[in-house]
A and B are shown apart, each in its own frame.
Chain A
Amino acid sequence: DGGITQSPKYLFRKEGQNVTLSCEQNLNHDAMYWYRQDPGQGLRLIYYSQIVNDFQKGDIAEGYSVSREKKESFPLTVTSAQKNPTAFYLCASSMVGETQYFGPGTRLLVL
């Protein structure tokens, strides 16, 4: 089964805690992306990576970090510096310049 998976589906964060969202793809795509979706604001790009061991900041990277040690994996860490982390987080992958395929999303809630 080819596709893109995200885990967990729901994640709860306590004050001052770092949490990591998982994103894995077996589509052999070079590029991977993290978006944040808030009600009424559409999707905003957090980070993206077009090749292993390289990534770039998107429009709202503050308070987030990523790594791209493997082509298949692009985990996102929401750090304690992100003061308003409650949102729906979507991961996507693509060949560069082609259609992006999205995972099912992770909803992050703050306790």
Chain B
Amino acid sequence: KQEVTQIPAALSVPEGENLVLNCSFTDSAIYNLQWFRQDPGKGLTSLLLIQSSQREQTSGRLNASLDKSSGRSTLYIAASQPGDSATYLCAVYGGATNKLIFGTGTLLAVQP
């Protein structure tokens, strides 16, 4: 059974710092991996999707990497801003199950 773990559960950094969020998964037979952002009391916003054949994806200050063989993904946020404060969730999609399996998220606070 696929399990997705995110470390750390919470992170507080000063504005301007570069930071890395981690995601690990137990079954490497995934179709893709996605990173989402969730603001308090809101729905999820898709940030980046990495197909299983890809190593990384970039969007603005965000860069996500995928190492399928080791079951790991990282989300790198450059020059963090207070507006980046949110919960970040990773999720893996396995073709056999047709389901997204979510991690429990990392709560990020960027201090001005």
Contacts and interface: CB of A to CB of B under 8 A. Distances in A.
Q: Do A and B come from one complex?
A: yes
Contacts of A96: 98
B46 A42 contact: no
B99 interface: yes
A8 B98 CA distance: 28
B93 A48 contact: no
B25 interface: no
B44 interface: yes
Interface in A6-40: 6, 33, 40
Contact of A90 (B44, B93, B98): B44
Chain B interface size range: 20 to 34
Nearest to A92: B44
Contacts of B93: 97
Contact of B34 (A40, A88, A99, A105): A99
Given A97-B95, A99-B34, A99-B46, A107 B102 contact: no
A41 interface: yes
Nearest to B45: A102
Nearest to B105: A42
Interface of A: 6, 33, 40-45, 48, 50, 58, 88, 90, 92, 96-105, 107
